[in-house]
Structure 1
């Protein structure tokens, strides 16, 4: 069952990237707040039942914080996928990045465990030069280097461009992004941007902390490097508040199954003085 769900962590990375949509502190219309958020993960409703998956349960935590030089994001997801033959597979995935405020430096580290066994460990850094080109330097799982083209963006830099597109009323934003989640370099993200909404309530009405905060619905299609692939590797729908909090998400592994993440707990962190 591992091969079927090998891309589950990569799709969560697009959630990570969307979390940083409003990381541009110099934009008066939106100000990112450092925070911790916790989500429950379940099998989403689907019109077509999966031939392989009977249920999904788990949790995901995200912590986003700013220091004087850049942004740190830490994510941990722990998911159990049950098949129709009574089996189960536990996928545990961790991801940490630091990106400089100028969008030119990225440090990354991620791991993936299946049923407690470490099957992937990625670590390295990326640096962009003045002309926009750059280089990715991996130290795990092996020492190697990959070039960065001029049109490839790091996560926060990508999201700044996406926010500008949303505020300008654009409905489609296409970009190549490198986030350090794979050893394959950059991937393409086609983001469809919905109209701005304002939340009436969040967390089941128990916590009005996000009430009346604007958010944007996003539909993201992620394409890998396989030139023979007809469609995207996966699609995800997300709702992201203007202060950087991810309201919720759905990941579509068509035609197999869908999973959804629901915000359960939220804590804002004190801003670091610089």
Structure 2
């Protein structure tokens, strides 16, 4: 795809994702969005409880585009790799996906460094893996801390912004989400002359403290009038929703991908459904 066309396509994809999310989410309470700079390079250090929907949520809620890291084996399919590149997803390889692929991570981290140098936003998951958890998993010491330390030592004024997303359900349609964003960690908060291993220890302890403090499972109730769009949308989309739920539960019901696949299928099929529904209604007008 031509470099000038790509951002235009992504702009429409993100706008469409926001519309779809009105029906997918019953209530979203976001706090601390003012802690995200509009101009500085950002490293989002986020929880990873809900597969690739975690990245979609930040794409929807932030002003600037987010370049997120995702498991490398997802890029093995060329068609999928094209789509992931289109939505600013970068591959990160784990040892379980092949030791021979680990060297490729250097290219990804080099790319992240250049993005930060150009005042972009990068999303990394310091827990190191996805799990439908309700608590914070132990954070990996090297990934996020190494990215931050490299940027700071290179004179990049990057801010590390802790982000925690908690969900009232990972299986039910019409969920409630608490999105919490903490004040950023800055290079002035740390001793950059420390040994990298000691720096990683101190940095990870601070990041853990910030993220644990934001875990919030107090979900606010949602009345009919509070989110009229969602409830009316549920009635309008009922045939489509029942099919998606049946298919997703059958294929992915026992995996961490249930919510993300549910959202993905709805994202792909919603436009066609709206068109067919419009044609059907027009026959009676």
Q: TM-score, normalization: structure 2?
A: 0.28
**Larger RCO: 1 or 2 (CA < 8 Å, sep 6+):** 2
The structure with more helix, counted as a fraction of residues = 2
Larger Rg: 2
The structure with more strand, counted as a fraction of residues = 1
Q: TM-score, normalization: structure 1?
A: 0.29
